[in-house]
Amino acid sequence: METLALLVSALLFGGMVLYAFGFAAFVFTALPADVASPTIRRAFPYFYLFVLGVSALAALLLLAGDLVSASVMAVIALSTIPTRQVLMPAINRATDEGRKTQFKVLHGLSVLITLAHIAGAAYVLARFV
């Protein structure tokens, strides 16, 4: 069970890092802005479902052996719900309505949340050592 928990935690960490620093950056450098923005907008709901599902699974797998790590993963899972359901639509509305300052603030918040999720997953992985 511990090996599976490690693999699932590593999947979460790697997936978030790849998406945040690889895929999103690539899309904005490889595609014109009028194509990149809608592409990212369509991809983000799936990214958040990935984070929610994998972190919840990791929390369950860690529950028996490491309550602290299980709690970190549960916080990641639970905080993904309002990020996906409330924050992401607010970012999209701000973009659609041309509210650039609000977009910058909300997008900055989503970046901080993602970085916190990555740091949380890294913390959990470090506890396996």
Whether pLDDT at 27 is above 90? yes
- Rounded to an integer, the average pLDDT of 88-93 is 97
- The pTM score is 0.94
Q: What is the pLDDT of residue 64?
A: 92
With tokens 């309550």, the residue in question is 67
Residue 114 has pLDDT above 90, yes or no: yes
What pLDDT score does 73 carry?
Answer: 98
pLDDT surpasses 90 at 48: yes
pLDDT at 1 over 90: no
**Rounded Cα gap, residues 24 and 56, in angstroms:** 24
Whole-angstrom CA distances from 121 to 2, 19, 59, 68, 111 are: 15, 14, 11, 12, 15
When pLDDT is cut at 50, 70 and 90, the band that residue 62 belongs to is: very high
Count: domains in the chain: 1
The per-residue pLDDT for 107 is: 97
Domain hosting 18: range is 2-127
